[in-house]
Amino acid sequence: MKKIILVVSLCLNFALQGMAQGVSKGYQPLNDSTTSVKDSLTFEQRVEQIERMKRKIDDKLLRYEAGITGGLRSDNEDYYMVEISAAYYPLKYAGVALGLEWDDNRGGKPLMQSLKDANGYEEYDPDRVIAINVNPGLAFRTPTLWMNKRHSWGLMLRCNPGLCLSVLPINDKVTFYEMKDAQGVGHPTTMPDNLYHNVTERTVRNHGGKWCFWRVKSSVTLRSGDVFLSLGWIASNYNIEYCRNNIYYTKGKRYNGIDKYKHSGTLFASITGQF
């Protein structure tokens, strides 16, 4: 009986010692969680993982864009244009756009010639037309073709087909001087007329001006993060002189008429940001 008790006590003692030894060696159940996987990554692997996450963020195309465009336009004359625009993309590569454009034909003067006189003032020029246009349309963009592994810069294409609404002025007016006895048919004044005050001021306004035009704006875009630099071309049947297509004197003589209104082409550069 004593021998049996001794054997049982030795077995229990051995079992207790084994359990204590297992705890001291820190045996843990197998853990396949993400934390354990991350802890097993090397430094280089962690850097690469961070770079992948950063590229994924930089690659993303956001819903909203806003930018400014400047261009050189040519129709019957050559002049500058400036446009402030915004776009919304409910789809990744398709959306809608709206622009507000300012045009100034400078009265047909050369682009580098100043519009101010010797005293620094801008004199009234009856040939000068300033127009404000509203440009609604669709907006399309392609996926980015990244040019390096880090995705720091890439190329994409854009196309915005739509309308050009020349709202100000739809019908322009012109003020000029003529001989008092010209009976409103636009006789130009001469030096004797000015000397003897045989001069009167007249204003005539256009009627039935054309104001709605088609417009396609296309560009190649350099992308870096959320900034887009574009170079492109705008094709349209818009002509700034259409707001003066039906100006007539009192007796039906046409004022400053253009026989053929050319379509306009615009070479432009723009900078746009997304947010």
**What residues have CB less than 8 Å from 123, skipping those under 6 apart?**
117
- Least Cα distance to 131 among 67, 203, 210 occurs for 210
Report the range out of 72-81, 214-223, 241-250 with the highest average pLDDT. 214-223
pLDDT above 60 for 70? yes
* Cα separation, 75 vs 83, whole angstroms: 18
Confidence of residue 152 (pLDDT cuts 50, 70, 90): confident
pLDDT band at 10 (very low <50, low <70, confident <90, very high): low
pTM score above 0.85: no
pLDDT of residue 166: 94
Q: CATH topology for 44-110+126-168+207-242+261-275?
A: Porin (2.40.160)
Cβ neighbourhood burial of 210 (10 Å; 0-12, 13-18, 19+) = middle
pLDDT band at 23 (very low <50, low <70, confident <90, very high): very low
Residue 33 reports pLDDT greater than 60: no
The predicted model gives 174-202 an average pLDDT of: 72
